[in-house]
Amino acid sequence: MKATYLQAINLALHEEMRRDPNVFVMGEDVAVLGGAFKVTEGLLEAFGEDRVIDTPIAESLIVGAAVGAAVLGMRPVVEMQFGDFISCAFDQIVNMAATLCYRHGGHASCPLVIRAPSGAGVHGALFHSQNPEAWFTRVPGLKVVAPATAYDAKGLLKSAIRDGNPVVYFEHKRFYRSVSEDLPEGDFTVPIGVARRRREGGDLSIITYGGTLHQALDAALIAEQQDGLSVEVIDLRTLLPLDREAILAAARATGKVLVVHEDRLTGGIGGEVAALIAEHAFDYLDAPVRRVAALDTHNAFSPPLEEHILPGTDKIVQAIRSLAAC
């Protein structure tokens, strides 16, 4: 069946709630309204108010209550209405949920999913455009995923719900209705921690995820058609744990690596990817690892300014050409 990115997430929630009565959904406006983006539409009618719960505007409360429910055997899926406001729940996520299993010597688990609609390119300005994934990719006990296709959006969410650990699930707002594909009938999952090669290539490798995957694919096609370059594209899909073998294999295969992400350059996951390659695949490199990312500034409301700040297809094409010339 053909499904948009948004519909894929909605389908995953319906299917997992039918499969497991311990799964429930909680967040701001997720019940009566069906979510600010309509991602949870239909859940209240299908499963009732005991399993689809509207909460106050209090992210710390939402995640804190979910941690308590998870400890008692439930499998909560909570929504941060905008990923930017996940910072309000930071203590509950990194100091409570992430440490719970370790604190109890492995005798307790916290099967919790935190959905975080994130990303720019929608003119959301300061508080509705951020990509805060790097805040969490250094926290032991968490898993962090960022699907960029409808298939992965569904499959990774189902895997996250079934996982015994807290998973922060970053879904890109720009993809909700702009990305779609045919999904297979029946149950399927996408494994957490496994990257996927989206495009074959031998001249250089792009390693990306989330909001810049499709831009990277477009840029690779342009570079092939206009410059005769063969560009491989790797979609990380999971940011914690990173698929180290896929990253190193890409570096060893082409010798030139471009890391692309929508998050800001400084402190972004691209720095960790570059360090990993420098430490374990340096002898294979024909040029330094390069990065294309957002500028180190706040997101702008003005469309021209936002475009200037963000990475985009044209910037990726320029970086491909520059790296290939080395």
Query: Would you name the residues annotated as active-site residues?
Result: 128
Cis peptide before 147 (omega within 30 of 0): no
List, in sequence order, every beta strand (DSSP E) within the chain: 2-4, 23-27, 52-54, 75-79, 113-118, 143-145, 167-172, 180-182, 196-199, 204-208, 231-235, 238-240, 257-264, 290-294
**Location of structure tokens 């308590």:** 68
Residue type present at position 139: V
In Å, how far from its chain's centre is CA 52? 23
Distance between CA atoms of residues 184 and 91, nearest Å:
39
Distance between CA atoms of residues 257 and 177, nearest Å:
31
Distance between CA atoms of residues 274 and 293, nearest Å:
13
